[in-house]
Amino acid sequence: DTEVTQTPKHLVMGMTNKKSLKCEQHMGHRAMYWYKQKAKKPPELMFVYSYEKLSINESVPSRFSPECPNSSLLNLHLHALQPEDSALYLCASSQSYMNTEAFFGQGTRLTVV
Amino acid sequence: AQTVTQSQPEMSVQEAETVTLSCTYDTSESNYYLFWYKQPPSRQMILVIRQEAYKQQNATENRFSVNFQKAAKSFSLKISDSQLGDTAMYFCAFMTPTQGGSEKLVFGKGTKLTVNP
Interface test with B, best of A3, A104, A110 (most B CBs within 10 A): A104
Q: Where are the alpha helices (DSSP H) in chain A?
A: none
- For residue B109, the distance in angstroms to the closest alpha carbon of chain A comes to 5
Distance between CA atoms of A52 and A66, rounded to whole angstroms? 11
Predicted local distance difference test score (pLDDT) of residue B100 = 58
Instruction: Please say if the pLDDT value at position B75 is more than 90.
Output: yes
Please tell me the number of Cα atoms within 13 Å of B98 on its side-chain side.
Answer: 20
Average pLDDT along chain B: 92
The secondary element (H helix, E strand) that includes residue A93 is: strand A87-94
pLDDT in tens, chain A (113 residues): 669 999 999 999 999 999 999 999 999 998 899 999 999 899 999 999 988 999 888 889 999 999 999 999 999 999 999 999 999 999 999 886 555 678 999 999 999 99
The answer to whether the CB of A32 falls within 8 A of the CB of A68 is yes
Instruction: Please say if the pLDDT value at position B41 is more than 80.
Output: yes
Tens of pLDDT, residues A58-80? 889 999 999 999 999 999 999 99
The answer to whether the CB of B21 falls within 8 A of the CB of B113 is yes
The candidate with the shortest Cα–Cα distance to A70, out of A56, A53, A47, A52, is A52
Report, as an integer, the average pLDDT of B23-39. Answer: 91
Predicted local distance difference test score (pLDDT) of residue B2 = 77
**For chain B, which residues lie within 8 Å of any Cβ of chain A, measuring from their own Cβ?**
31-33, 35, 37, 42-47, 50, 91, 95, 97-110
Contact A55 B98 (CB under 8 A): yes
- Nearest Cβ partner of B98 from A41, A49, A56? A56
Distance between CA atoms of B83 and A68, rounded to whole angstroms? 40
Percent of chain B predicted with pLDDT > 90: 73
Instruction: Please say if the pLDDT value at position B17 is more than 70.
Output: yes
- For residue B15, the distance in angstroms to the closest alpha carbon of chain A comes to 24
Percent of chain B predicted with pLDDT > 70: 95
